[in-house]
């Protein structure tokens, strides 16, 4: 045991002292925080006003174009030719032409621009025209547009989960799906990242003949276990630092630039684009601004996050990361010990990678029915459970499923470690020979 601890210490310290580890530990949180901060900052910086000139030959729609969504409308009482000349002189960003036949032939509407068209502005103008065209057609048919709008109802059925103690809890499957796929992808990423480090580390020691000196004082199995556990601790250390630094950077950015990351401004912008209506108890229209809808959506997201047991998510992530990593790292170590160069690893990597790739593919099916038989079996099979169980956990998993999955994952790790140890003890001292699957089977059967 002392020898394994010595190897773990050596593997851990030799990696955390490397410049690449220090650089990636610092750069990683910057990149992750940047992926969240930069798009918001760029979106705010690009919120310039896009000015559209309106040439309405029908004289029916001038008053309906209200500024909003960073779009400004300007009425032009000139013909389209003069408007296009003004466009060429950069007086406007675009010209919307509604010909005299526009109401009867909507396909005759034209949107002119001398540069790349702002799709947000174009869609905003289209939404205004669609609403007005519908209102005019309804009025022509003798139907009050406001009555028709009042009958339009958006259905959003609230999900309620009955708990074992008889209480109820609001369920938010959309947020659970997002957390589940995020957890599964992170497991996939870290298992392959640090598993590949194990394989390269074994190959490096074998190629440099350092392993011949090491195995003179420790058993090959002890060397393999020490290397696997040592790199696992490196992974946990780096992951923990990434989480802390990323959260710190994002929080600091929110405090330093409240105007950029304050959702109130975007909500106010949406509120300017119009109001929606709902029927109150008396049957009359009660206007509801988009800002209220956005506030309700934000509150629902926050409530859904509170409904999910984050501590269980974190503990489960650590367990399934370690379990999945230890299971696959043993196989990576076996592959690294069997070959002399990285080019020869390709033939042995496919059987190892297929279960992980299959898990990512099946995650979509599992999310649609997280309590179904496919989700159950894939979440207890050791080769797929690290990813699939992380996908299922945000939806709520029966305790018996967790116990079965955890026990089988531990047994799977022990089995793969025993199998990999058989290959490792022979392959680590083999040089100049390109092994086949038949050769590996012989190494496994050696007593």
Query: For 351-360, what is the mean pLDDT?
Result: 90
What's the rounded Cα separation, in Å, for the pair 97 and 125? 11
DSSP state, residue 68: B
Give the pLDDT confidence of 187-196 residue by residue, as tens digits.
888 888 888 8
Are 223 and 330 contacting, i.e. CB atoms less than 8 angstroms apart?
no
Q: Is the pLDDT of residue 33 over 80?
A: no
Segments making up each domain of the chain, as ranges: 2-30+173-251+305-445, 50-149
What local confidence, expressed as pLDDT, does residue 257 receive? 64
Query: For 161-172, what is the mean pLDDT?
Result: 64
Give the pLDDT confidence of 50-72 residue by residue, as tens digits.
888 989 888 888 888 888 877 88
Out of 128-132, 139-143, 227-231, pick the least confident. 139-143
What local confidence, expressed as pLDDT, does residue 301 receive? 55
Are 384 and 355 contacting, i.e. CB atoms less than 8 angstroms apart?
yes
Give the pLDDT confidence of 317-338 residue by residue, as tens digits.
889 988 998 899 888 888 888 8
Could you tell me which of 323, 433, 441 has the C-alpha nearest to residue 382? 323
Out of 22-31, 210-219, 233-242, pick the least confident. 210-219
What's the rounded Cα separation, in Å, for the pair 157 and 160? 9
pTM, two decimals, is 0.65
What's the rounded Cα separation, in Å, for the pair 328 and 325? 5
Could you tell me which of 137, 135, 192 has the C-alpha nearest to residue 335? 192
The confidence band for 418, taking pLDDT boundaries of 50, 70 and 90, is confident
275 compared with 391, residue with greater pLDDT: 391
Q: Which two tokens stand for residue 362?
A: 């099946």
The DSSP secondary structure of 145-201, one letter per residue, reads HHHHHHH-----PPEEEE-TTS-EEEE-HHHHHHHHHHHHHHHHHHHHHHHHHHHHH
Query: For 384-390, what is the mean pLDDT?
Result: 92
Name 55's bridge partners.
Answer: 97
3-state secondary structure of 435: coil
Give the pLDDT confidence of 346-355 residue by residue, as tens digits.
778 888 889 9
The confidence band for 240, taking pLDDT boundaries of 50, 70 and 90, is confident
Are 380 and 402 contacting, i.e. CB atoms less than 8 angstroms apart?
no
What local confidence, expressed as pLDDT, does residue 384 receive? 93
The confidence band for 276, taking pLDDT boundaries of 50, 70 and 90, is very low
CATH number of 50-149: 3.40.190.10
């Amino acid at each position: 045991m002392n020898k394994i601890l010595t190897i773990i210490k050596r593997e851990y310290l030799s990696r955390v002292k490397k410049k690449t580890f220090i650089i990636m530990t610092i750069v990683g949180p910057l990149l992750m925080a940047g992926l969240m901060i930069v798009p918001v900052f760029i979106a705010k910086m690009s919120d310039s006003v896009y000015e559209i000139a309106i040439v309405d030959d029908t004289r029916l729609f001038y008053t309906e174009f209200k500024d909003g969504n960073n779009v400004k409308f300007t009425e032009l009482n000139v013909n389209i030719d003069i408007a296009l000349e003004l466009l060429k002189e950069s007086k406007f960003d675009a010209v919307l032409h509604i010909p005299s036949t526009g109401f009867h032939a909507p396909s005759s509407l034209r949107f002119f621009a001398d540069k790349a068209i702002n799709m947000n502005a174009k869609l905003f103008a289209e939404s205004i025209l669609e609403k007005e065209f519908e209102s005019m057609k309804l009025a022509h048919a003798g139907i009050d547009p406001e009555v028709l709008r009042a009958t339009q109802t958006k259905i959003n059925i609230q999900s309620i989960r009955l708990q074992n103690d008889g209480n109820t809890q609001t369920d938010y499957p959309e947020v659970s799906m997002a957390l589940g796929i995020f957890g599964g992808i992170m497991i996939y990423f870290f298992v392959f990242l640090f598993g590949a480090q194990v394989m390269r580390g074994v190959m490096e020691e074998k190629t440099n003949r350092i392993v011949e000196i090491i195995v003179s004082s420790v058993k090959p199995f002890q060397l393999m276990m020490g290397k696997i556990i040592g790199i696992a601790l490196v992974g946990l250390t780096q992951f923990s630092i990434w989480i802390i630094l990323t959260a710190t950077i994002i929080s600091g950015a929110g405090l330093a630039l409240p105007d950029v990351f304050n959702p109130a401004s975007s909500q106010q912008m949406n509120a300017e684009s119009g109001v929606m209506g709902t029927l109150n108890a008396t049957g009359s229209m009660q206007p509801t601004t988009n800002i209220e809808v956005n506030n309700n959506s934000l509150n629902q997201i926050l409530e859904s996050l509170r409904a999910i047991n984050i501590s269980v998510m974190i503990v489960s992530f650590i367990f399934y990361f370690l379990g999945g990593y230890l299971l696959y790292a043993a196989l990576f170590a076996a592959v690294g010990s069997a070959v002399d160069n990285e080019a020869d690893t390709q033939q042995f990597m496919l059987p190892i990678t297929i279960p992980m790739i299959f898990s990512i593919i099946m995650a979509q099916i599992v999310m649609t029915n997280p309590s179904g038989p496919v989700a159950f079996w894939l979440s207890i099979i050791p080769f797929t459970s690290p990813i699939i169980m992380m996908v299922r956990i945000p939806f709520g998993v029966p305790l018996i499923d967790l116990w079965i999955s955890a026990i089988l994952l531990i047994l799977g790790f022990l089995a793969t470690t025993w199998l990999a140890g058989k290959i490792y003890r022979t392959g680590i001292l083999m040089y100049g020979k390109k092994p086949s699957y038949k050769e590996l089977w012989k190494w496994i059967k050696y007593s």
